[in-house]
Structure 1
Amino acid sequence: MLDRKTFVEINIKNYLHNINFIKNKTKTEVIPVLKADAYGHGAIRLAKALEKEGKKLIAVAFLGEGIEIRKAGINIETLVFNYATPKAIKDNIDGYIYTIGSLQQLKELIDYFGKDISNIKFHLNINTGMNRMGIDIDNLDMIIALIKEYNIKISGAYSHFATADNLDDFVKEQYEKFIYATKYIEDANISIPVKHVCNSAASLYFPEYALDYVRPGIATYGMQPSDIKIEPELKPVLTWKSTVARVGILKKDESVSYGRTYFAKDNIPTATIPVGYADGYFRQLSNKGYVLIQGKKCNIIGRVCMDQFVVETTQLNEVKLGEEVVLIGKQDNNSLSAEELAQLAGTINYDITSKITKRVPRIYIEEE
């Protein structure tokens, strides 16, 4: 419903371009990561596009995300990164690969399923230095013994880089630990059919570490995984547009919005935009952020409210009610990226798009 002419455009062609670019760069298959509703881009619609493209495996953070995709009639096998209760796994075995992320979790699953655990497909998450999730290398012998005793089906193994976006030497250290751990397991006569360690940054900047798969997230959406090195081949997938809901004049010495944090030094023309933090537009952009109108930067004045914010339009020609406003994307010869908004808001680009709420409709387009 476009009652306020505010919406997000998702360019599916650009999304598929990014995935194919990463595939060609790493010379391996891609597991597209669709967690957090595809970082705010809409997981169901993108999963449909991936299924049409013939992709065989996707990844999500939590089982519930995978269930939503499957309920939409999409039958791509789904890797679940995070913990799921044994009961939830029991109710959702077909079509899912679950992660064994610790010795304690494996024991919990064995206690619940017993020998029936052999009916479930698993990937092992090896902790190589992230120290958030993953099997500690010290526990490998016990993990190996339990896998053999219960005939557990290991269909893959992975780890996660902590600093690939920093392009530092810790990436190599983690990679070598992963290779050591998987070889140790395989030397115990346990097959690991596929291995994957590369996230977006590693896929772009350490393609030599691509194994059987890479599993990029943010880069598939055309956003940069690092602020140190930019990949110009990535094409942004998301554009956020709104409209001018009111044209006004803020008189000299008058304030605008809550808290009176901005006072006009002269009479200035303004435009009110019908978007706020309830839409996922960051309140931290108050008196910092800007939008594009007529292809020119218009600074936010005053605080961003739940449903609205105000911009100064001094540099523009006559602004009209209903005129297009770009919050993220291109307009004429100017552009405003999620990275720029993230820098202004003191956060990261992932945060900017994943916070765009369901109140903002998504429109999907196939062309450039």
Structure 2
Amino acid sequence: MSVNKNRSSTVYLNQLITNIPLRQKIADQNDRDKFEWNQWQSATKAINNVEVSPKEKHVRNLILGTFRLEGSRLFWSMMIRINIESHPVIGWKFCYIIHRLLRDGHKNNGVQQNYSLLSYRYCNLIIAKLKFHERNPIFTGNLTMNEYKDIRRLFNDNFNSYFQLCIELFDYMEAILNLVQVIFKSLDQSRSNSMTAAGQCRLNPLIVCIQDSSLLYDYIVKVLFKLHEGLSGDVLQDHRQRLIDQFQRLKCFYAQSSTLQYFSNLIKIPVLPENPPNFNVKEDLKNYQTPVAIVNTSSSDSSQVMEDLLIDISDDTKSTLRATFSDNLLENETMYNRAQDISDLEQTLLQYDTMLKQNRSETDDLHRTIVIKDAELIAERD
């Protein structure tokens, strides 16, 4: 019998993946423990503070683990124990492993899962905001301008600077509208609404989006009017078309938000006109009205709860309470003593809570030290 010595012994990752049965349950607890321990070993050997590249065998094992479990829940639970923020090399290796899992791992590692697409779009928005402020330090974090009240006087008659600024304003607005789109789409898919806890969890960031988008739209309109003073209409055709597209999406965003009860007491949502301004007509600038979003900061969540409780108490109930306190001084004194006892207990509880936080902090430090020492020991063994 002849043996082909030139035959490669390499087993490719996709060959291993095809041999893994989907939804294979780990019936035996010992097998489950062994599998999880094996994954943990690969995770700590691939993601540690030793400045060497992760070994491919450990990376492959983590990838195969996502196919075994049809997702990356185990991986993320392990990442909590690794303390990614504790060392820059750990953070760097973590990014590489995530890249590999998204590229080669099970499909449920990606943006199909629950909040993944929402978080992805939110991260894009944050990056767009950081880039915008890095390039335009004249704008504060809340998009007001430090020294200038009119954006049309920012660069005098330097139309090249206005042209570039307009593009960056468009990009910032695009990131906001993309996040808005996936938030509303996720509500439709999950059958949540604005008066459920899950719905409000997703809708809450839109308050900031309404604030920022109203300012961005105002800046874009004024910059475009400025550009039309010095550049031909043909040069600005793409800018005008981009504004029209964003105007329609923004108008839909405001209209849809206005129908949700959740926003009714939190923010005054701007109302956009039927059509965007005509930049070829200078009179449209005089008729243009700046959209204003006003956030209601008069009451906090806790005060609102108290207000609701007060509303629920009728006048008859209040009268009954007054009569009770007036007619029974002994009971009133007893209630006062109980209130004093409660206050003393709360003070004691705060003291214990402070001590508990200190103990937790010390425990966390010990855990970090153990993980670091464990990683160093594993690296030495390898």
Per the TM superposition, whether the score is higher than 0.5 is no
Greater fraction of residues in strand: 1
TM-score (norm 1): 0.23
Q: Which has the higher contact order (CA 8 A, sep 6+)?
A: 1
Specify the structure having the higher radius of gyration (Cα): 2
Greater fraction of residues in helix: 2
